[in-house]
Structure 1
Amino acid sequence: MSSRTAHSIAHFEAPFVLGGLEGKLPAGDYDIDHDEELIDGMSWLAWRRVATFIHLPARTVKSSTSQLVAIDLAELETALKHDRENAA
């Protein structure tokens, strides 16, 4: 089965919380990876998201260590929505 990774950036104006991660994460830009696999048997190309990962720390933080942590996409979308609503 074929797979691919789509990349995006999540921007937070304020500190935020994601389930499975300890404490609040600081505001900033975070690289996000979405792993997808090709759905076989379709008459057209279709991809299914199978995992979402966040790169820690944020892009602006200079660190000698980094982590790639699996997260729930729905929680990320909720946190981003909450951040946008509070920034307005």
Structure 2
Amino acid sequence: MTMRSRRETVTFKHPFRIKGIDRLLPPGAYEVITDEEMIEGLSFEAFRRVATMITVPAAPPRTSTVERISINPVDLADAQRIDADAPRE
């Protein structure tokens, strides 16, 4: 089975929450990795998402490290929408 990973950077301008992460995350740039597998047996190349992960600062007291947490891409999109709709400071 063929796998691929896509990396992107998403930026939040305000503190935010994502379902599945039990703390408020600070504003900033975050790496998001999406793993996909090829759908076999088609006459064209197509992939399906199998995992989405975000790299975030580790929970205290380990603030100098990071952790990669599996998230739902819909929850990420919701957090981005809320951040974009937040009043300007």
TM-score clears 0.5? yes
Q: Which residue number corresponds to residue 23 of structure 2?
A: 23
What is the number of equivalent residue pairs in this alignment?
A: 84
State the superposition RMSD in angstroms. 1.7
Matches within 5 A, 1:1-88: 1-57=1-57, 63=64, 65-87=65-87
SS of 2:86 mapped into structure 1? helix
TM-score, normalised by the number of residues in structure 2: 0.87
Gaps of 5+ in 2: 58-62
Q: Is this contact kept in 2: 1:32–1:54, CA < 8 A? A: yes
User: Which stretches of structure 1, 4 residues or more, deviate above 2 A after TM superposition?
Assistant: none
Distance 1:48 1:38, change over 3 A: same
TM-score scaled to structure 1, two decimals? 0.88
Aligned-pair identity (%): 36
Q: Which runs of 5+ in 1 are unaligned?
A: none
Give the drift of 1:87. Answer: 4.8
